[in-house]
Amino acid sequence: MLLHRLSVVISGILISAAIQADVYRWVDENGVTVYSQVPPPADVQKKKIEAPPAPPVTEKEAWSEVNQPWKKMRDREDLIKEQSTADSEQLQKQQAREKNCETAQRTIEELSNADLKFIRKSDGTIERLSADERRKQLSKAREMEKEHCK
């Protein structure tokens, strides 16, 4: 695609220089003003029109013209990637908050049970809880709930 655009720009530059043919202006026998690249008959008064010179285009300007759409496209792609990454991070944070909220609520429910005397720890072992330990863990679970369940 880039090569195609570059060839179009360079071809345009070369063709514009080559096409600078002579243009003639004259009035025909019916009074109509004629502009043509073909010279009029010899007996007609004519005026040769000089075309203005083609604007000079440097190689740097030609490349800049070709690369400008590509730069915009790359910038757009970068923006889309950044937005996608931000959305993904936001989704992961939301999922972690929801999981932590559920864990806190489940822990509060279990610790609020008056008959609870044992608790399974995160490593899988079972531990007997004193009333003081239960209050401490219940307090931690409520703090976790406040933090994650908004």
pLDDT digits (tens, 9 = 90+) for 12-63: 655 555 555 677 787 888 888 888 878 777 777 777 777 677 778 888 888 8
Q: Distance between CA 108 and CA 137 in Å, rounded?
A: 9
Angle, nearest 10°, between helix axes 59-112 and 2-18? 160
- C-alpha angle 126-118-123 in degrees, rounded to nearest 5: 25
Q: What is the CA radius of gyration of the chain?
A: 41
Q: How many residues does the chain have?
A: 150
Annotated domain spans of the chain: 1-57, 58-150
Confidence band (pLDDT; 50, 70, 90) for 80? very high
pTM for the full model?
Answer: 0.45
Q: Distance between CA 138 and CA 22 in Å, rounded?
A: 95
